[in-house]
Amino acid sequence: MRYAAAMRATDDDIAWFRELLAPLGRIAARRMFGGTGLYAADAIVALEIEGVLYLKTDAATRDRFRHAGGRPFVYDNGAREVETSYWTPPDEAMDSADAMAPWARLAQAAALRAGAKKASKQTRTAAPGRPAARPRRTSP
């Protein structure tokens, strides 16, 4: 998504996104790389970039977002455009926490799978005779 001028999310926008994701439990928000990461139980489930909410997807969920009219967050790394695993939910999901709940749960499931995959990879790459790297703990 491109904008002529970068839009910044307001505190009210972030509060609304947290309310939309509330069916997942306590939602923590952390400013990061020009946007905000939204976390449920220490797993990043969504990003706010330029005032737009993007939910975590993976191979198991991405087609549902695509078929519902979602768009990926794409950025330019200087050499090419990079499509991320974060997609917008359908427009109607932005109306209420109840409407967002199924999409938020898909995002949480994708985030948990990504975390499990990362932890498994860290365990496999540990040198013989050395303990595996411990996953970093993030605090809300």
Q: Give the pLDDT confidence of 101-137 residue by residue, as tens digits.
A: 999 999 999 999 997 766 655 655 555 555 555 555 5
Q: Which domains does the chain have, with CATH numbers?
A: 11-119 (3.30.1460.30)
Task: Name 49's bridge partners.
Answer: 35, 52
CA torsion sign for 79, 83, 85, 87 is positive
Task: Name 35's bridge partners.
Answer: 32, 49
User: What pTM does this model have?
Assistant: 0.79
> Percentage of residues in the chain with pLDDT exceeding 70?
77
